[in-house]
């Protein structure tokens, strides 16, 4: 049966952007609509130098390619591949992600008219080249291993005002099911944190489909960003400033209880659930004013940092006699050399460290303090006000009210509410 002439086809299938459009908005994507009783059977999108991508069945969705750049998104996306989803009634197809700026596309849609006759419509257009752009950097390194508390941290080179649009461009694939949320800390910093600590030994793949996304005020992303990393074993430290002991949980079980000495009364170690940031052996620690009481300049072994202001778990052979009995440090958690080395050997960035019973509250952003917030507080930092469910097949935004009950408990599965408040 011959296809109907184009004059009749246009009544049954409509493509936006229309053919010959010279500066289409890439953030709007591609929409194919069936009209007057028509149906869509297949949509194919091609772009010079790219693979063909099509949707041939209701609710089909495949992930587009993305240019991989470890820790940074600094160059134009070169994939051009376009995926999309056809609705259950075969009357509307829409591209999954934004389109690359400054790229030519040809869309070919086939289907039927209201009598079941085959119809075809084609549109060839080009997306605009934006004058204002943003790029994105990710903290996580490719194929690196992090602790169970590690947030995904993104930094943008330009303030984002349409935060929801940027959140909707993000996709996570995790080897184990994960529930979490995005959280904006200002206009240029976006984090993802699970509701509870990550499941140990999880592989995480991040896909930021930023190319063509309007971050607000006509500032467009120009490059996609992908990164894969691993969550290692669960290592959780809890230090009591009054019991003068730290407990180390490995794999959810108490593995060690060590004597410690924390900050003296004038320099108390602050309460809070922090994350290990970095480690070094040795680390030079300098504090106070040279020539005045309290000044120190020490080369310290087996040092694992958990605040930006300079608090560490570290070896302190000079305070062994006080460890387990009194607090004499300048704010760090002092351990014996053997205990400090044992912890150092286990630690990777993102391991939770909780300080309890202090007279001093922790300060937000003095370290990676995402776990200062409980789940409800963290959710309020999302521009979409939605939770994220991720797994081996990708991620989806879901209503927080639809989530299953949370059975995790502190300190090994999650942080305790109000953990940063002074006792």
44 CB-near residues (< 8 Å, 6+ apart):
52, 53, 54, 107, 108, 109
Q: Is 94 marked active-site?
A: no
Burial track 288-322 (b if 16+ CB lie within 10 A, e otherwise): eeeeeeeeeeeebbbbbbbbeeebbbbbbeebbeb
**φ, ψ for residue 54, nearest 5 deg:** -145, 160
Q: In this structure, what token pair is assigned to residue 103? A: 């790229």
Find where tokens 């300079």 sit: 310
d(CA 32, CA 290): 71
d(CA 67, CA 227): 10
Q: Is 189 marked active-site?
A: no
CA diameter of the chain: 96
Burial track 263-284 (b if 16+ CB lie within 10 A, e otherwise): bbeebbbbbbbbbbbebeeebe
Query: Are the CB atoms for 397 and 171 separated by under 8 Å?
Result: no
The catalytic residue among 158, 209, 314, 330 is 314
Q: In this structure, what token pair is assigned to residue 383? A: 């521009």
The catalytic residue among 158, 209, 330, 332 is 332
The region, left, alpha or beta by phi > 0 then psi within -120 to 50, assigned to residue 324 is left
Residue 350 vs residues 154, 232, 233, 389: alpha-carbon distances, Å: 15, 10, 11, 21
105 exposure class (CB count in 10 Å sphere: 0-12, 13-18, 19+)? buried
In angstroms, how far is CA 324 from the centroid of its own chain? 39
d(CA 199, CA 233): 9
Residues taking part in catalysis: 314, 332
């Amino acid at each position: 049966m011959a296809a109907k002439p184009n004059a009749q086809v246009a009544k049954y299938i409509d493509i936006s952007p229309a053919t010959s459009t010279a500066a289409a908005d890439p953030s709007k994507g591609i929409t194919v609509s069936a009209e007057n009783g028509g149906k869509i059977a297949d949509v194919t999108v091609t772009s010079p130098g790219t693979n063909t991508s099509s949707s041939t069945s209701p609710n089909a969705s495949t992930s587009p390619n993305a240019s991989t750049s470890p820790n940074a998104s600094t160059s134009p996306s070169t994939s051009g591949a376009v995926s999309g989803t056809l609705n259950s009634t075969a009357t509307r197809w829409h591209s999954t992600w934004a389109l690359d700026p400054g790229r030519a596309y040809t869309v070919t849609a086939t289907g039927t008219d209201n009598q079941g006759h085959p119809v075809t419509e084609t549109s060839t257009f080009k997306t605009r080249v934006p004058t204002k752009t943003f790029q994105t950097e990710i903290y996580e390194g490719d194929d690196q291993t992090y602790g169970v508390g590690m947030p995904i941290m993104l930094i943008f080179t330009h303030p984002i005002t349409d935060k929801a649009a940027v959140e909707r461009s993000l996709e996570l694939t995790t080897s184990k099911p994960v529930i979490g949320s995005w959280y904006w800390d200002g206009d240029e910093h976006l984090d993802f944190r699970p509701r509870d600590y990550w499941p140990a030994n999880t592989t995480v793949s991040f896909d930021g489909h930023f190319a063509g996304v309007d971050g607000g005020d006509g500032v467009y992303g120009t490059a996609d960003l992908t990164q894969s990393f691993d969550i290692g074993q669960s290592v959780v430290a809890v230090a009591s400033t009054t019991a003068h002991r730290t407990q180390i949980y490995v794999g959810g079980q108490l593995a060690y209880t060590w004597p410690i000495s924390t900050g003296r009364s004038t320099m108390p170690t602050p309460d809070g659930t922090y994350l290990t940031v970095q480690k070094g052996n040795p680390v030079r620690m300098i504090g106070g004013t040279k020539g005045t009481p309290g000044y120190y300049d020490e080369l310290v072994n087996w040092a694992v940092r958990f605040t930006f202001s300079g608090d560490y778990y570290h070896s302190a052979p000079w305070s062994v006699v006080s460890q387990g009995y009194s607090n004499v440090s300048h704010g760090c958690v002092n351990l014996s050399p053997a205990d400090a080395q044992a912890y150092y050997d286990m630690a990777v960035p993102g391991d939770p460290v909780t300080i309890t019973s202090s007279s001093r509250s922790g300060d937000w952003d003095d370290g990676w303090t995402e776990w200062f917030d409980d789940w409800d507080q963290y959710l309020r930092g999302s521009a979409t006000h939605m939770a994220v469910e991720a797994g081996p097949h990708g991620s989806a935004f879901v209503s927080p009210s639809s989530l299953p009950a949370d059975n995790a408990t502190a300190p090994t599965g999650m942080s305790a509410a109000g953990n940063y408040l002074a006792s």
